[in-house]
Chains A and B, each alone.
Chain A
Amino acid sequence: MTTASDRPEAAPAQPDALGHFGRYGGRFAPEALVAALDEVAEAWEKARADAAFQQELADLLRDYTGRPSPLTEARNFAEHAGGARILLKREDLNHTGSHKINNVLGQALLTKRMGKTRVIAETGAGQHGVATATACALLGLECVIYMGEEDTRRQALNVARMRMLGAEVVPVTIGSRTLKDAINEAFRDWVANVDRTHYLFGTVAGPHPFPALVRDLHFVVGAEAREQVLQRTGRLPDAVAACVGGGSNAMAIFAAFIPDADVALYGFEAGGDGAETGRTAASITAGSPGVFHGARTYVLQDEHGQTLPSHSISAGLDYPAVGPEHAHLADTGRARYEPVTDAEAMEAFRLLCRTEGIIPAIESAHALAGARRLGERLGPDAVILVNLSGRGDKDVDTAAAYFGLVDEEGQA
């Protein structure tokens, strides 16, 4: 039996000096940003070795975020998942409602350490934006959030939350007016204001050092979960399941298990209408290697290398690429990636609500749908760990409309 104490203190494998995970990652960025990217990388190198910084972050994660997040066994839901044991890592119970806060608190502390006073960030569903606005309120940093105009409409409640927390929300009205355009606009802001501004990137994508930095700040999720599963079941899980858009919550829960070769890692991409339909956000399944938002990775692109519009019912997964470490894990076979359609995700969403009394984020519902599939495959003896990365409060309007719980005016 493997126990936590058998194993040296695990730390995630780092990319090479230029930020490559195998052939993926790296830095495809304007020269003007190289100095700032180097500054972030160096600041993080020093901070991670600094006991005082680590203590300050650990205190915030415990006292402000509410870590460790619990592990909940979903016994009723399991009956709809081949009878396998389903263990939910409850990142939905974190302050601000998702895993995003782990990365945000770390980078906000890093911002102060670098002597910068202004933070910018992108957001799709609004979860990263809300978490960033929260950390900036706590730490006294100026905060500007870029959000596609289309998303500001889809997620109006989160726009209001960010403004309540003191952030300026800038609707992005160019391109497809969604997450990818918000990221473009945030990079444009950063290059012009880099002296006093940190770009608090929200996922494990972008130019080096962001993929490794964001993953490291989320490492706590998988490390806690590994410990909790061992204590609860006396063994490691057979499989770990997470949803994948950019891929931060998936790297969060995968990273601590990568050295455990017997633990299968599954990323469930947003299939949209179906990965073969063209209306999808499944970048690994339906995309091809290319360069996008500063890194080499899998991208949804046309024959000429133009980015294709993505589609998912989940705004947080509606992104036409994926973090480069996922691309590497996919190519090496260490993790497997499968698409989950909007319909499968919404069925899993409904099931978790009805059987466990937990309303998941629609993003996380993709992982739940994937866990059902794994449970059917692996059978009742299997132990499946699922990252329940966020809660569904923000998705009530979308879900109510999807299930026809309200009339067209949104009335009950």
Chain B
Amino acid sequence: MTTALQTRLAETRAAGRAALIGYLPAGFPDPDSSVRIIRAMVEGGCDVVEVGLPYSDPMMDGPTIQRAADTALAAGTTPADVLRVVRATADTGAAALVMSYWNPIERYGADRFAADLAAAGGSGVITPDLLPEEAGEWTAATDAHGLDRIFLVAPSSTDERLRLTTAASGGFVYAASLMGVTGTREQVAGTAEKLVLRTREAIGGTGLPVCVGLGISTGAQAAEVAGYADGVIVGAGFCKRVLDAPDLDAACAAVRSFAEELAEGIRSAEKADPR
């Protein structure tokens, strides 16, 4: 079974470019507004949108995404709202993913969450604090409902763990560009390209895409990463533009033009390794 995510990543690869993957917490700054902002992200050029499930203890997130998640929780965002935002995202034509820490999914019920997400048109889930070793129930649930399981690899991952994690992943593998939390950085980490190469080595011949996130927040950085990765993941940069905007219209405009800048960067990239 092919997910919308797999189809979209095959299309961008065929077009000779990396995919642009944007992140926004559902419910930020409130559920209806987050749908409008995501539409602007897609209009600006996002191929894939990660809809964040806001969580009270986001251990892997820096201050910008923490603030965004806190705002969403204060607005009363629930998993049901997240699924509604996923539906609206999928309706734009972009591939829709959920990014969630594990506890809210476990609490909802892993199988029930997978079923409801698939019914809402979602393609898969990124789980930043779930390791393949603990993912038995999740593997069964996502297999049963045809969802992609997206695990993370990091510069500190051993070759053995790269093989374990990529074998457990579907859709793409999320390569964390650096040792650290989410947030904008001055430069793309020097660790990113090497990790992508090591991850491809671990993947072998399956062609599973490798997308890079953490610290990418300009068109130039997106261009640099697009030179070696299958996808460029941007989160804090979008959240920051919403936080800085005086109102929703301004937020949508800022987000759209930021997505355009990133998409333009990606199109300008010279592929070091056309695949």
Residues on A lying within 8 angstroms of B by beta carbon are: 18, 26-36, 174-175, 180-181, 184, 187-188, 191-192, 194-195, 290-294, 299, 301, 303-307
Contact = CB atoms under 8 A, between A and B. Distances in A.
A31 B152 contact: yes
B129 A305 contact: no
Given A30-B154, A32-B156, A304-B78, A299 B57 contact: no
A34 B157 contact: yes
Specify the main secondary structure of chain A where it touches its partner.
mixed
A35 B151 CA distance: 16
A305 B60 contact: no
User: Looking at B63, B130, B153, B155, which has the most chain A CB atoms within 10 Å of its CB?
Assistant: B130
B76 to A, nearest CB: 10
B180 A35 contact: no
B66 A30 contact: no
Contact of B131 (A29, A181, A184): A29
B154 A32 contact: yes
A174 B63 contact: yes
B180 A192 contact: yes
Contacts of B129: 28-30, 291, 294
Interface string B42-65: 000000000000011111101100
B16 interface: no
A31 B162 CA distance: 10
Nearest to A18: B133
Contacts of A194: 156, 179
24 contacts: A26-B134, A27-B131, A30-B128, A31-B131, A31-B165, A32-B155, A35-B156, A35-B157, A35-B158, A174-B70, A180-B57, A181-B57, A188-B62, A192-B181, A194-B156, A194-B179, A291-B102, A291-B103, A291-B106, A301-B103, A303-B107, A305-B104, A305-B105, A306-B73
B146 interface: no
Contacts of A306: 55-56, 73, 104
Interface string B76-119: 00110000000000000000000000111111100000000000
A307 B176 contact: no
Contact of B179 (A191, A291, A292, A305): A191
Contacts of A34: 131, 154, 156-157, 161
A305 B131 CA distance: 19
Contact of B176 (A26, A32, A187, A294): A32
A293 B57 CA distance: 8
Contacts of A303: 107
A304 B79 contact: yes
Counting chain B CB atoms within 10 Å of each CB, the highest count among A26, A27, A304 belongs to A304
Given A35-B157, A290-B106, A301-B107, 12 more contacts: A27-B131, A29-B129, A30-B154, A32-B157, A34-B156, A184-B58, A191-B60, A191-B180, A192-B179, A192-B180, A291-B103, A293-B57
